[in-house]
Amino acid sequence: MKSKFMDAKYLFLILFSASLIVFGLLFATPIEIYKGTIQILTQPDTLITDYIGVGGIGASFFNSGVLTLIFTFLLYKLKLKINGISIASIFLIAGFSLFGKNLFNVWFVIIGVFIYSKVQKDKFSKYIYIAIFGTAMAPIVTEIIFSTTISKLISIPLGMAIGISIGFILPPISSFLLNVHQGFNLYNIGFASGVIGTIFVSLLKSYGFIPVPRFIWTEGNNEIFSIYLYLLFSLFIICGFLLNNKSFKNVKNITHYSGRLISDFVIMEGFPPTLINMGINGIIATTYILLVNGDLNGPTIGGIFTIVGFGAFGKHPKNIIPIFIGVLIGSVTKIWNINDPSILLAALFGTALAPIAGEFGWFYGIIAAIIHSSVVLNVGYLHGGLNLYNNGFSAGIVAAVLVPLIEAFRKDDF
């Protein structure tokens, strides 16, 4: 069935990319963007590397906008219809291009997945979403290439080879690991990348290569970023409303889905209601950061974009709010503060577990978030911060333990 919104969806992604580039251009001259981009491309990207602190607002948003545009063009060239997973994957690129993915480091994993598809004598388009999500491991490339302990003669080919090999092994592993959490972790590739990253980093450590942790986190830009984000998400809602025959029809239907993989809201309820849901998610996530007095910067905007993107593929207000509440409750009883950087990210990216709240109710969503906010602080060590979806790794572990327990003691049966 041809959708009359097919072109509108591509146009939406192009305009979103353009908004990022234009926003970047408001803060820097082309020369400054060029210099900032060089800085971004030539430094390691281990968690947490806020590109705004590395290359400035202009270069960060330029990097994000251009990468988003390139990946949108890639989907177009592969003749794919834009649905929920397409939007989620593109927004993930936009978000993480503010803190870890850049115009240089993402391609090696993509090439690895491409080679895998050719070895399988299959179309690359069948693996495109695994490839796009798989760029979570992009920092391993730059971490090795820009390492100061290895000669460039070795580090450059080694970094490229490792990036390609991760992409090559990712498709079967990511598909298989779905069985572990039964689709209750929306960032399945984060879980797969965590497992793969743990193995690769263990091997590298055995040969004396230790990933160097980074912590670049910018502050003080809340006002300007909140204006941009609220404006952007309000536009999503207004456009969705207009495309939806000036109504909120079917938006409520989205909240009836648990969000468990796969819940493609574009296919299930249509693009206009999904766009409204994405806008609402964005406003909630931005407001959360401001309410807890957190910082809007590369990593947190990345988290917000991820929630917005997955507003087309599993997340809605009813299943993400319990996650925020769980992290909030955790902060009252645990040793950290609600606006600590890692905890802000745990709240935003912890919404990977939204399907638990959607399927089993608010209570279990809150429990999942309380557990997740502790687990996520401990698993980064395993992959040396080289898996950008560290929360997806943690969420996979939490879901794998929590879901069978909830099921075992649940009274009702389907």
Partner 1 sequence: MKHEKKRITKIIDELMFYLFSMGANNIDVNFKREADLCAITFKSDYDLSKRDKLFKLVKFLNYEKQEEMEEYYWELTGNYDLDTELSLVGMMIDEAKIYYDDEKIEIVLLRYN
Asked whether the beta carbons of 105 and 45 are under 8 A apart, the reply is yes
256 touches partner 1 by CB under 8 A: no
x-or-dash string of contact with partner 1, 215-254, rule CB under 8 A: ----------------------------------------
Strand partners, 216: 49
Asked whether the beta carbons of 346 and 362 are under 8 A apart, the reply is no
In the block, tokens 């060029």 appear at 34
Contacts of 228 (CB under 8 A, 6+ apart): 23
Looking at the Cβ atoms of 127 and 225, the one nearer to partner 1 is: 127
CA distances from 152 to 69, 149, 397 (A): 31, 9, 37
CB 152, min distance to partner 1, A: 36
178 touches partner 1 by CB under 8 A: yes
User: From the list 260, 315, 316, 372, which residue makes contact with partner 1 (rule: CB under 8 A)?
Assistant: 260
115-154 residues in contact with partner 1 (CB under 8 A) are 120, 122-123, 125-130
261 touches partner 1 by CB under 8 A: yes
Neighbours of 399 (CB within 10 A): 27
3-state secondary structure of 263: coil
**H or E element: which one contains 27?**
helix 6-27
Q: Rg (Cα) of the chain, in Å, rounded?
A: 20
Asked whether the beta carbons of 300 and 346 are under 8 A apart, the reply is no
User: From the list 29, 175, 337, 378, which residue makes contact with partner 1 (rule: CB under 8 A)?
Assistant: 175
Q: Whats the size of the chain, residue-wise?
A: 414
CB 259, min distance to partner 1, A: 11
In the block, tokens 């990022």 appear at 20
Binding residues with partner 1: total (CB under 8 A)? 35
CB 221, min distance to partner 1, A: 36
User: From the list 268, 325, 377, 400, which residue makes contact with partner 1 (rule: CB under 8 A)?
Assistant: 268
Looking at the Cβ atoms of 28 and 402, the one nearer to partner 1 is: 402
The window from 41-49, 79-87, 241-249, 296-304 that contacts partner 1 (CB under 8 A) reads: 79-87
Residue 160 has which token pair? 């490229």
CB 182, min distance to partner 1, A: 5
Asked whether the beta carbons of 363 and 402 are under 8 A apart, the reply is no
Which residues contact partner 1 (rule: CB under 8 A)?
Answer: 1, 80-81, 83, 85, 120, 122-123, 125-130, 171, 174-176, 178-179, 182-183, 258, 260-264, 267-268, 359, 407, 410, 413-414
